[in-house]
Amino acid sequence: MQLYLRLLRGAIIHFIYPIDQRSIIGTIKSPTAFTNMKPNKIHSTAILEGKVDLGEGNEIGPYAVIQGPVSIGNDNWIGSHVTIGAPGQDTRNPRYDSSNSRIEIGDNNIIREYTGIQKPCYRDITRVGNNVFIMQSVHIPHDAIIQDHVVITPMVALGGISRILKGANLAMGCTIHQYGVVGQYSIVAMGSALTKNVRPFAKYIPNKPIGVNEYALAKFGFEDIKEEIFAYVMDNAKPNTPHLAALVLEFEDMCKDSDRSTY
């Protein structure tokens, strides 16, 4: 395999799979230990700068820019013109030193074209979990946490230090306020402007009563506790099922940090 990659000054690229050692300057782990691993596919116009750790089976498209320190797991698809690792857009300190601010991206994610994922400003990390689908032109801000199985559709903009919890779905063009928490398996309607938190399993549509995201109940296998989920979302009844109670407790703990009320 030949590697065609634009490496900027100071780049330290860690490939955890066998490559042609003539194509990179530095120390490469012995290929014999990785004979069953999948190669990464990196377009010739992509730019990787700084310390970038790559797993296996990733595809990085044309004109993508990744500025370390960034850790990327396995089997991710990163589209053209995606920018990962630009400094966070912070009005208090717009030129802060982000050279040691880390981004972590897990496994099996799709990050479509023109999306930006920014470095943290106030916390340790900006993180995208596993099996996340981020569609075209999405803004992932400084210090955001995107948990597993989240879907973020085109042109969604998140405020800094926001938390999008497991299985949540953000519809086209919605915006999330700073420190906002979108609960597990909830859904936010297109064009919404959230100024409060959204509880787990809720369906938020502006100017309508909160409902239950029944699609998520079927998709993620919660139909056996459907009545308990309805009671929690609609009547704020405390859950008894341990798994559901743990989800609600995680959400409530994050809401304490957000200092915002809940729809």
Q: pLDDT per residue over 119-128, tens digit each?
A: 999 999 999 9
pLDDT band of 38, cuts 50, 70, 90 = confident
pLDDT at 19: 38
| Strands 202-204, 211-212: pairing kind | antiparallel
Q: If you count them, how many residues does the chain have?
A: 263
Q: What average pLDDT does the structure give for the chain?
A: 89
Strand-pair partners of 66: 48, 84
pLDDT tens string 143-157: 999 999 999 999 999
Confidence check: pLDDT of 90 > 50: yes
Q: Which domains does the chain have, with CATH numbers?
A: 6-258 (2.160.10.10)
Please tell me the predicted confidence (pLDDT) of residue 259: 84
Q: Are 121 and 144 in contact (CB under 8 A)?
A: no
204 token code pair: 């938020």
Q: Which residues pair with 128 in a beta bridge?
A: 105, 146
pTM of the predicted model as reported, rounded to 2 decimal places: 0.88
173-218 pLDDT tens trace: 999 999 999 999 999 999 999 999 999 999 999 999 999 999 999 9
Inter-helix orientation angle 242-258/226-235, to 10°: 30
Kindly state the average pLDDT of the residues 32-57. Answer: 84
In the predicted model, what is the mean pLDDT of residues 53-81? 96
